[in-house]
Amino acid sequence: MRTPIALLPVVLAGTLVLAPSPGNAESGVPTAIQPTSNLPDGFKVLEDYVEALGGEKAYRKHKTEELAGTIEIPAVGASGTVVLRREADTKTKVTIELEGLGSIVQGTNGEVAWRAQLGMPTEILEGDEANKLINEANYYAPVEPRKTYTEAKTVGKITFDGVECYQLELITRWGDHQVGLFEVESGLHRKISTRSAPGSDTFTTETTYSDYRKVKGVKRPFALEISAMGMKQVIRFDSIELGVKFAKDTFDPPKN
């Protein structure tokens, strides 16, 4: 079994923020892409997603949130709890307690990105790893598609998990090439996959969103299934609270 520090990139992938593989809709894997005419512009699909969530105005009413729930990593028999705290603009802190393995914490105060494990010195992240974490911590990213993405192209429709979705090719402003699935009827975001390299058919992370519920006028996914480093994780949030008050130093790196 991997140590907590080795599991860190796996269990955190997808919690801070978005290719299908061969398969069928019943298995939860999208069918082959179906190119079609008269597809909506990619940014129009992203803007429809903003409205599906409840609209930009409703989303911006809140500046903080706390999500608490459970995490399972079936491949290694690990399970535990997860708490995600976020504050606008780019502050975030993820705390994971894995039974028998201890705690894993990662976050950013918007300037410094860091990770910590019980009994080990806090590690200050640098370079691309730090920049990626800070970029993905943007609280308002879901309602700022034109600030988040430099390119958004709708390439077709596919059936994913029995639901018709638009498939988008996306490029983030920090250079990630992604594939996004958005339900045609509801506009909700169902899956995001990050390519290992531009044009590659392999993906570093894939995150599926489901069980959307309304919280203070904004729809949020209460269930995430994440595949990263060849390992699946399942996160189910029991509660999502908006407008939470945090201590001033909540997002600062722990002192060694």
**Predicted local confidence at residue 33, as pLDDT:** 63
Query: Does 123 score more than 60 pLDDT?
Result: yes
Instruction: Give the torsion sign (CA, 58, 62, 68, 74).
Output: positive
Please give the Cα distance from 42 to 27 (Å, whole number).
26
**Predicted local confidence at residue 29, as pLDDT:** 43
Query: Does 240 score more than 80 pLDDT?
Result: yes
Query: Does 145 score more than 70 pLDDT?
Result: yes
Closest C-alpha among 115, 85, 80 to residue 101? 80
DSSP string, 157-178: EEEETTEEEEEEEEEETTS-EE
Percent of the chain scored above 70 by pLDDT? 85
CA distances from 246 to 40, 90, 91, 95 (A): 41, 14, 11, 14
Name the pLDDT band for 5 (thresholds 50, 70, 90). Answer: very low
Q: Which helix (H) or strand (E) holds 138?
A: none
Lowest mean pLDDT among 3-12, 103-112, 121-130, 229-238: 3-12
Cβ atoms of residues 194 and 178 within 8 Å: yes
The residues spanned by each domain of the chain are: 4-18+22-237
Please give the Cα distance from 192 to 207 (Å, whole number).
5
Q: Which amino acid is at 193?
A: S
CA distances from 95 to 12, 82, 110, 256 (A): 9, 6, 17, 17
Considering the segment(s) 4-18+22-237 as one domain, its CATH architecture is Clam (2.50)
- Please name every residue paired with 165 in a beta bridge, in sequence order, or none if there are none: 158, 183
CA distances from 250 to 105, 132, 254 (A): 12, 20, 9
pLDDT digit string, tens, across residues 178-217: 999 999 999 999 999 999 899 898 899 999 999 999 999 9
Q: Which amino acid is at 157?
A: K
**Predicted local confidence at residue 85, as pLDDT:** 96
Return the number of other C-beta atoms located less than 10 Å from residue 217's C-beta.
Answer: 14
The structure's pTM equals 0.85
pLDDT digit string, tens, across residues 65-118: 999 999 999 988 999 999 999 999 999 999 999 998 889 999 999 999 999 987
- CA atoms within a 13 Å half-sphere pointing along the CA-CB vector of 146: 5
Q: How, if at all, do strands 203-215 and 177-183 pair?
A: unpaired
Please give the Cα distance from 223 to 234 (Å, whole number).
8
Query: Does 128 score more than 50 pLDDT?
Result: yes
